[in-house]
Structure formats: C-alpha cells, structure tokens
Structure 1
Amino acid sequence: MLAQTGVRAAISSIIGKQADRRLLDALAAPKVEPFDFSLDAEGKPRKELWLDYVADLGDGWDSTYAVAQTVSRPTLTLRDETGAAYDTLGGEVLVFGGDEVYPTASVKEYQARTLQPWSSAMRGQRPPPHLFAIPGNHDWYDGLVSFIRLFCQGRNPDGWQTHQRRSYFAVKLPQGWWLLGTDMQLESDLDQPQVTYFQEIAKRIRAEDRVILCLAEPAWLMAQVRPPDSRAYLENNLTFLEDEVLGKKISVFLAGDLHHYRRHANDEGRQKIIAGGGGAFLHPTHVPRKEVALPDGFTARKCFPSTQESRRLCWRNLGLAVSSPRFGVLTGLLYVLLAWALSVNIGTASVPKALALVVGTALASPGIVLISALVILGLIAFADARFGRWRWVVGVLHGVVHLVAAFLIAWGVAHLMGSALGLSFRNPVRELLAAVLIFAGGFVAGPTIMGLYLLVSLNGFGTHANEAFSSLSIPDWKNFLRLHITPDGHLWLFPIGIRRVPRAWKPGETAREPEWVADPKDTRATPPTLIEPPIVV
C-alpha cells in the first residue's frame, strides 16, 4: 500500500502540473450559479439553518464511524467544560472539508472507507443531508476522477443529495451568510476558471453579507508546521482571494488537513478554525514550538488535544515496537543482514577489539559498506527538511546509532554463543540461534531508536510532526463542527470532540438505530462533548 501510494502521489503530481482536471470541469459546467439555501422547499425565506462540517475522514473504521454516527443523530445535547448544556440539531447541509478518503482515491476506497461507514451510521436516523465537498491532496491522487464521479455528477449515494458540478462551490445561506468551498489542487494553486467563478459570485454578495470559506489546508499555519516549499503559494492564493475577490467579508475560515482542532481569532470576532478530526490519525498540537504572530491580529484561542496532552502522547513513540510491530520486523531483518554480512567471530573479543575487527572486516567488504551507506543515506533523506542545514548531520547520527546498535547486538549474541553456550564459530545450530536472537534484538532496538529519534525531534525541535504521530495511529481525539445560523443573523459554532472513540460495536436492534451502535461493554469510550463553549460570530 505504501509503494502504491507513493507511485500514485508522484503520478498525480506530474499530471496535476500538466493537465488540470478543474479546467475540463469548468468547460463542462460553464454556468455560475450559487446553490440557494436561503429559501426553503416552498420558496419562502429561511429564518435559520443547521450545517455540519467534517474534514479528513475515510480512514480507520472506529474513528470514521464514531464521527459519522455522531453527526447523523437527529438531535445532540452537548455540554461544555463548565457543565452548560446546549441542544443542537443535525445539519440539513453537510460539508466534507477535504481528504474524503485515505491513503489514495479510487472508487473502491471511497466505497469501503467513506460511503459504507457513513451510510451505516445514517440508516434510520434522519433525512439525508445536502452534501457539498472540496478535495484535499488525497482526493487528487487519482487526478480527481473518483471525487468528480462521486460528488459532482448529480449522483445521490445512499440518499445523500449532491448538487455541485465542480470541485468548488458557492452556497447562499439564510440571513446574509454565504458558504464557499475552494479547490487548491496539489500545487496549492487557484486556476483561472475558479477565480472567474468566485468573481462572479462576489458580484452577488452584498456589502453587509458575510462569508464562511472552506479550504483544504489551513494556509495561515501551514508554513509554520511543515516545510515551506509550495505552501507559500497557498498563502498567496488565499490572500488574493480574500483581498482581490471577496474583500474582507470572510468572517470564518474553515480547514482540515491537520488532524486536530485548533482555533485562532482576532478582536473583530473573525475566526480561523482547523477541524480535521473526521477520522484520520491524530496530528500533534504542540507544533510549532513558538508560533509566529498571524496577520490581522489573529491569536491562538483553543486546541484539542491541549499542547500538554499532545507532548505527553508523543512519548508513546518509545513503544514503537508494540504499536508498529511490522516496522520491528523490518529492522530485525536489517540487523540480521548486517550481522550476516560481517560473518566474523567477535564472540571472544572485548568490545573495543571486536569493534576494530568489525571495522577492518567492513572496510574490506564492499557489501557491508554498501548496506551501511544505504542505511545512512536513507535516514538522511528521512530527516525532516525543517532541520535545515543540520539535516545531513541528523541523518548521519541517526544512521550511525542504528549501525552501532546492530554491532552491539551482534557482539552480545556472539559472546553468549561462545562463552555461555560453548558453541563454536560456524556451528549450524549457533548460526540459526544467533540469527533468531539478533532478529529479536533488532525487533526491539530498531523501533526504540526510531521512536526516541521521533520523540526528541518533535518534542525538542518541533520537527517530524507527521511521522511521529502517524506512527502511533491514534484514533481518538476526533472532532467536527456544527454550525447554526440563528433567526437574529448570528452564526453559532459548536466545536464537538470525542475524546475516545468506541472500539467495539454491535448491530443496531431497531430500524431507528444505525446499522452499528457502540457496545456498552466498551466502558472506556467517551460521549461527544463541546471542546469549548460555542463561538458566536
């Protein structure tokens, strides 16, 4: 799967630069009309409307289904940290905010990872919502083909009502509110037809109207948490869209891509919210280590999990052999390969003499030199680009530690074979037993060294945020947003979090229940709560 994902990512990046699917879709749907939800089915003005926003879904079953089931409930009573209770309604409009499937897009993956859990959760709950979606980078890995087929061709999968004909959209909401969704593609680029589309939409937005803007990536924070590379273009595009097309009418910015909840706000009441907790693994919230001030006075207000909890979770990397046993198999085989390539008796020598013997043998063996060089070069390439000019030093040190660990394990096993068990060098039983013991040592030492490297890198230097937490595959700390446009014209934002998702499920017993419900025996699962009190805009 990793190899296939890498190949598809490379191909989609090349194709995305040469043949932009959005240009073809713009030609197929030239009409620029917003979808009007300011009126009800009878054509009367709506006084209020409920919406749900979910991003970064379609990954693990437990996490994706827990969020889908919570969103699907007709009503949801939520309490904040003060104990205050709020009654909310399931959104008539559902917005998917990017990365609707992992790791790569295809009809099969959308069906298995997105449609099945959501249709199972919505069964018998409430009328299917009107669905709008924007693509993230994972949706673009097949050139946007599957995304367009599912969300932009008038299909109604499992009863969802789809309306958009492009990978971006504009929706007119009650009380002078607008919902806009953009598609920045893999190159973090706004294509000209999309700019033209939003320029036409901007002509229909009155001076007193306000906008909710959905982005696949949080442009305001990306340069601080990931290597800058093309992210500068993303920020420039957002600035262009805000300043030149929509003006300062954007009251709420919504984004996913980072798999946690984080909110910034300014004194004017404008909000920038990351809510990427729809189902994918958790991302840390304690990066950047020191946040650079954002433009227009935006400051950090809340994150979920807290930065202290995020730091604590990072320590789980020391148990990488348990959480990622297949990685332990890889390092175990690598250590055995290094010891086998040496093929020298070091069991009776002291550590310094054994090391000198190994170095001499290694220098005379092109195979060992090649394997060692590949290990070090691979770890240099793995080192986070945010290390800057120290990247080579970090990669070399990381590689040398693995090589030293392999040597010490091989020496210890050889010493045990010769001194304790009295097995002679080249004895077949000794060779087999030594291979098993070296593999076991590599199974534990390799992931532990890697886990320590990730722990120090993230908690000490603010690097490797993606690798350090993706290796942990934490399904908990999920979140989504529920929005309510009230009759008085205000927008209420309810950030909903699930601290620990259920791990056990049982079939729903009635037609009014989802296909699967949480098993009461799973007592560690927690109910959905408000991450912070509602935000009123």
Structure 2
Amino acid sequence: MASGTETLTAPPGAPAAPPQRPQGRKMVRWFDPFVLLKAGVRSTISKTIGEQADRRLLDALVAPKVEPSDFSVDEAGRPREELWFDYVADLGDGWDSTYAVAQTVSRPTLTLTDETGTAYETHKGEVLVFGGDEVYPEASVKEYQERTVRPWQAAMRGQGPAPHLFAIPGNHDWYDGLVSFMRLFCQGRQPAGWRTHQRRSYFAVKLPHGWWLLGTDMQLASDLDEPQVQYFQELAKQMKEEDRLILCLAEPAWLVGQVRPPGERTYLDNNLDFLEQQVLGKKVSVFLTGDIHHYRRHANAEGRQKIIAGGGGAFLHPTHVPRKEAALPDGFTARKTFPAPEESRRLCWRNLGFLGHNPSFGVFTGLLYLLLAWMQVADLREGGTVAWKLSRVLGAALVNPGVLLLAVMLVLGMMGLADGRFGRGRWVAGLVHGVAHLAASLFVFWGAFALTGALLPLGSVPQELLGAVLVFAGGFLLGPTLMGVYLLISLNGFGAHANEAFSSLTIPDWKNFLRLRIDREGRLWLYPIGLRRVPRAWKRGETVREPEWVADDKDATPPELIEPPIVIGAARSTAPRVAGRSSPEYAGPAAP
C-alpha cells in the first residue's frame, strides 16, 4: 500500500543511477551582445506599442467588475482570525537562485534565526504575491515556462496545497505587450498548481482585520490608465476609514529618484502621489516593491514602511548606492539593507574578472579590435624605435577613413553608455573610456605585428594569419578587462553604473523575500528572509513528500531573518517565538 513517504529511489540490488542535475536555465548574461540587442529591440517595440495601444484598456473591458478577492473569510464564510502570505519579486532568472527561493517559500514551516540568535517559527503563506518581473530577459510563453513555472513546480512538490497566486507585471513582463503575462496569471489557469484569481494586470485582496493588499500596474513607467484609476476608486468606497493598506508597486519611486540623474522626475513619482492621495484617500501603511534586486527598508516615526524586496532570483543589485541618501518625504529613513553596503562594495571588485563572467563580450571586443587592425595600413617593416613604430600605426589610423569612422562610432557609443549619474562629467567619462579602447586596440595591433614579424617572414600568409589570431586574442582579453575596470571605478568611485556593474557579475546569492502574517489581534508581522549563498548542486528528492530537487551543496547557507520581524499594529503582544531573547521591531499603530 502506497504511503506519503513512498521512496523514489531504485529497488535494492539495482545498479546505481548516474547523478542527475536539474535541466534549468543559467542566469541571463546581460553583456552577451545578442541578449542586449534582442532585449533592446523588444523593449523599444513594446514601448511603442504600449504608447499606441494600451493592453490594460482592453482587459478592463473584458473584466469590468470590481470585485476584490476576499481572504478575510474562510471557505465556509467564517471570519479568519489570522492569515500568512508571502511576497516574492524579481524571479524567473537562473535555476539555482530562482529554485532556492521557491523551495524556501514552499516549505510548510520555517524556523528562522535573526542576527541576534533569536528564532521564530513561520508558516507557508496561503497567498503568494509575485511583485513584478516574473521572467528575464523578456516575456514569452517558453521563458515563463522554463525560468518561472518549472522551478516553482519542482519546488512545491509534496509541500502541501499550492497557494493562491496574485501577480503584478514589471517592465520585462511588458516586453511582449503583456500577452504572456495575461495568459499565465489572468485567465483562471493553474500554472504549477497555483490557484489564480485576477482578471486584470492589477488586483485587490481583502485580508482579515481590515487589511487590504493592492497590486498596481504602471506599464513601462507610464501613467495610470483610466480604468485602473476607476478600479481603485471603486475599491476605496468599499473600505472603512480605519482600514489599512499594503500597496505593491512595480518600482520603488522613493529610491529610483535618487539613483537616476538629478532633475528627472518620472511618471511613476506622480502616479504614486496620485494613487495614494487622490484615489485611495488614505495613507498606505506598507509599500512593497521589487525592481531593485536587493533588500532595503525605510520607515518613519509613524511606523509606515517602504520595503524593497527584489531578491526572488534575479542578479544582485548593489546596496552601497546612493552613497548618501537624500532625505525622503514624511520622515522616512533607511533602516536595513541586505547585503550590507561594505559587502556590496567588496563584491563590485569582481568586475576585475569581467571576462570570466561575460566570455561572449570578449568575443565581441576581440572581433572589434581585429576589425580596427584589419582596416589599418601601416608599413612597419623598416627599422626604428618602439615609439617610432607606434607613431606609424597611429598615423596610418588617422588617415584611414574606415578606421576614423569606426573609432568615432566607438567613442560616441561609450559616451552614450556613460551613466547620467556622472552629471556634467558624463561625456568626459565616456570619452576616456572610448579612447582607452582605441589605444588598447592600437597597442594590440602593433604588439601582434612586432611579435609575428620577429618569428615569420613579413607579409607572408602565416605571419598575417598568426597576427590576426593574436589581435583577436588581445581584444578578447583586454577589451572586457577595460570594461570591468571602468565599471568598478564608476560605481565605487562615483556611484554610477549601479545596474551595469552588478548585472555584469550575475551574482545568484543574497536572495530575499518577505513572509507576512496578520495575527489574531489584527497586527501585521513582516519577516524579511534572506539566503546569503544559494546552492549550486542538487540531488533528486528521495520521497514524494520532498521537493523534486534538494540541495547537495555544503557551502550553501540556510535561510535566515535579515532583521527581527517588523510589527504594525495597535498593541504589543508576545511574538510567536521559539527561542531567544530579543524583541521584534515594533512599528506602532498603523497609519489611519
């Protein structure tokens, strides 16, 4: 008779099966020229289509009712005394990171220890919220299936009932005009066993004790569409004056404004003000968002929280920028980051090994240097000093129209790449970067010619072929190294290129998500959960009560509390503590 612990291993005496590995996708290599080109094209197309034909307008016509999903009562219609739910943002990237988070979220219970050694017992959420960018590098049915659905489906095996799922789209979900997102999350399907409810790309969930969970769709940093405004206005009429709100956003407007070039105020900033002040008509107690791939919490004296928890699987973003945060409105101040700024600064030094993280970029720079060398005509057969020969190479380059055109394009490209955070020095930074590559290509060309000329007859086919190989090799090694040095100096020295300097590293570690609980007294508990190092090796689960894959990496770290739980409520009470002495951070009464 079968049991819940039925093993999945081979019978006794059978030959041992060879070790297996998950057939998961690797993390996106953002400096792969083909990935950059494809993502750029899809982004441009989706932005153009979004401006001319907003998908949200059509979806509002198909699903005109404004009916929040009601989790304030159970299936029998009785008021719920408490509810657990989880928030995961920026997932659907590499297998190791995405699966590690999914497996941690899916465990029925987690006993977590914070930095003081205090332990707390938490429970898997009955509701699961995806906070934006559910897939990378672009949305498609295939990418969703392989990078998002498959890892979560494997992680949830044998872990009890699948949660009720709600999701808001990020900019990458909009890259196909939101078609795949709507098909997966908004048509009543059950991908990976999830139970979906929403019919639009935004949602509302009624929670116990007067709490509400709202998810918005800001498209590609565009304005709130009119049907969405009306949707939330109708919901506001259903809320009581004392009700409290948890608002899920696609981007952290309060921080994005500090890392963008000065003076740029986006539609997103105006949307947030309009939604909070004009549509909802009351203050939001908790803001939840992803888009930036780390954990960062701001809070004010009233106990209101602004939390970035974009650690669901995508590459890590730095926490040591902005180097000095500007004052936020309403007295919000920074309380915690994960990883710590000093650790983030240390990780940035990995850019010195840029080539190892981005070998395809080395192929690109190798071909670029080879093209520059091929277009030059420099007669170095005559004798002379090293300086004289280098001057001949430079002189030949300056009188060659093809070389000049390519050089100008290269420098202009580097100037366009330079981050606006450099301010007035942006063009200088780009110019220096571009000229560095030109100088390196000339040096590689001269070095290859000098070396091959000493070994083989000048002008012979073997000499030219060997020279071409050496030029390519020099470009392959030197081009990425210069890019890595540029990104390192830019970020650690000037606070610029935060996205590029860390997307180049594809760091799968330092993942995070939020576990939330509304207790019997109506207080909201927020448990920030982190994974410092995700497993790199896996083995098949041995029983049907285990996930499909379990960690087989002794260097992986267990989940932990990033900081003690944050509590929003009207009164203190004893935490659901297992052991230890410290108290969670009490945020005081929720803002009315």
The TM-score bracket by the shorter chain reads over 0.9
Q: Deviations over 1:335-366 (max 9, x none)?
A: 22222222424474434322321232123211
Q: Deviations over 1:83-119 (max 9, x none)?
A: 1000000000000000011111111111111111101
Which letter does structure 1 place at the counterpart of 2:554? T
Distance 1:307 1:319 in 2: 21
Q: What is the match of residue 54 of structure 2?
A: 20
Of 3-12 and 263-272, deviating more is 3-12
Distance 1:99 1:124 in 2: 27
Verify: 1:338 aligned to 2:369, yes or no. no
Q: Deviations over 1:499-535 (max 9, x none)?
A: 011111111110001111111xx21111111111111
Shift, 1:156, TM fit: 1.4
**1:302-317 → structure 2 map (5 Å cutoff):** 302-317=336-351
Q: Of 392, 397, 400, which residue of structure 1 is paired with 2:427?
A: 392
Distance 1:267 1:497 in 2: 25
Q: What is the match of residue 492 of structure 2?
A: 459
Verify: 1:534 aligned to 2:560, yes or no. no
**1:510-525 → structure 2 map (5 Å cutoff):** 510-519=543-552, 522-525=553-556
Q: Of 283, 294, 297, which residue of structure 1 is paired with 2:328?
A: 294
Verify: 1:478 aligned to 2:511, yes or no. yes
Distance 1:346 1:127 in 2: 75
Distance 2:519 2:508 in 1: 33
Q: Deviations over 1:167-207 (max 9, x none)?
A: 11111100111100000111331111111111111111111
**1:113-262 → structure 2 map (5 Å cutoff):** 113-227=147-261, 232-262=266-296
Distance 1:230 1:144 in 2: 26
Which letter does structure 1 place at the counterpart of 2:156? M
Distance 2:385 2:74 in 1: 84
Shift, 1:230, TM fit: 7.1
Verify: 1:403 aligned to 2:434, yes or no. no
Shift, 1:231, TM fit: 5.1
Shift, 1:228, TM fit: 6.6
Is the Cα contact below 8 Å between 2:354 and 2:505 reproduced in 1? yes
Distance 2:246 2:124 in 1: 19
Of 345-354 and 189-198, deviating more is 345-354
Distance 2:449 2:171 in 1: 49
- What SS does structure 1 have at the residue aligned with 2:270? helix
Which letter does structure 2 place at the counterpart of 1:426? G
Identity rate, percent: 72
Distance 1:390 1:336 in 2: 30
Shift, 1:226, TM fit: 2.8
Of 302-311 and 378-387, deviating more is 378-387
TM (norm. structure 2) is: 0.88
- What SS does structure 2 have at the residue aligned with 1:368? helix
Distance 2:361 2:40 in 1: 18
Shift, 1:254, TM fit: 0.1
Shift, 1:9, TM fit: 0.9
- What SS does structure 1 have at the residue aligned with 2:286? strand
Q: Of 521, 541, 555, which residue of structure 2 is paired with 1:488?
A: 521
Shift, 1:410, TM fit: 2.2
Is the Cα contact below 8 Å between 1:351 and 1:411 reproduced in 2? no
Distance 2:434 2:37 in 1: 23
**1:312-323 → structure 2 map (5 Å cutoff):** 312-323=346-357
Q: What is the match of residue 18 of structure 2?
A: none
Q: What is the match of residue 400 of structure 2?
A: 365
Is the Cα contact below 8 Å between 2:277 and 2:283 reproduced in 1? no
Is the Cα contact below 8 Å between 1:54 and 1:97 reproduced in 2? yes
**1:39-78 → structure 2 map (5 Å cutoff):** 39-78=73-112
Q: Deviations over 1:274-312 (max 9, x none)?
A: 000001111111111211110000000000111111111
Distance 1:488 1:253 in 2: 21
Is the Cα contact below 8 Å between 2:82 and 2:517 reproduced in 1? yes
Which letter does structure 2 place at the counterpart of 1:530? L
Is the Cα contact below 8 Å between 1:104 and 1:138 reproduced in 2? yes
Shift, 1:414, TM fit: 2.6
Which letter does structure 2 place at the counterpart of 1:307? P
Which letter does structure 2 place at the counterpart of 1:525? A
Q: Deviations over 1:34-70 (max 9, x none)?
A: 1110001111000100000000000111100000000
Of 400-409 and 121-130, deviating more is 400-409
- What SS does structure 1 have at the residue aligned with 2:336? strand
Q: What is the match of residue 444 of structure 1?
A: 477
Q: CA separation of 1:30/1:68 partners in 2, compared to 1, >3 Å: closer, same or farther?
A: same
Which letter does structure 2 place at the counterpart of 1:516? W
Q: Deviations over 1:373-423 (max 9, x none)?
A: 12112111211123233322221211111111112222223333344x3x3
Verify: 1:415 aligned to 2:446, yes or no. no
Shift, 1:322, TM fit: 1.4
Distance 2:283 2:207 in 1: 14
Q: Of 297, 300, 308, which residue of structure 2 is paired with 1:263?
A: 297
- What SS does structure 1 have at the residue aligned with 2:285? strand
Verify: 1:86 aligned to 2:126, yes or no. no
Which letter does structure 2 place at the counterpart of 1:411? W
Q: Deviations over 1:193-223 (max 9, x none)?
A: 1111111111111111110000011111111
TM (norm. structure 1) is: 0.97
Which segments of 5 or more consecutive residues in structure 2 lack a partner in the other structure? Answer: 1-34, 569-592
Q: Deviations over 1:110-143 (max 9, x none)?
A: 1111111101100111101000000110111111
Distance 1:350 1:534 in 2: 70
- What SS does structure 2 have at the residue aligned with 1:57? coil
Which letter does structure 1 place at the counterpart of 2:432? L
Is the Cα contact below 8 Å between 1:345 and 1:414 reproduced in 2? no
- What SS does structure 1 have at the residue aligned with 2:271? helix
Distance 1:286 1:523 in 2: 29
Is the Cα contact below 8 Å between 2:393 and 2:446 reproduced in 1? no
Is the Cα contact below 8 Å between 1:16 and 1:187 reproduced in 2? no
Q: What is the match of residue 462 of structure 2?
A: 429
Is the Cα contact below 8 Å between 1:188 and 1:230 reproduced in 2? no
Q: What is the match of residue 574 of structure 2?
A: none
Distance 1:240 1:215 in 2: 13
Shift, 1:435, TM fit: 1.9
Q: Deviations over 1:461-491 (max 9, x none)?
A: 1111111111111111100000010111111
CA RMSD of aligned residues (A): 1.4
Distance 2:318 2:77 in 1: 46
Of 477-486 and 435-444, deviating more is 435-444
- What SS does structure 1 have at the residue aligned with 2:74? coil
Which letter does structure 1 place at the counterpart of 2:309? A
Is the Cα contact below 8 Å between 1:276 and 1:480 reproduced in 2? yes
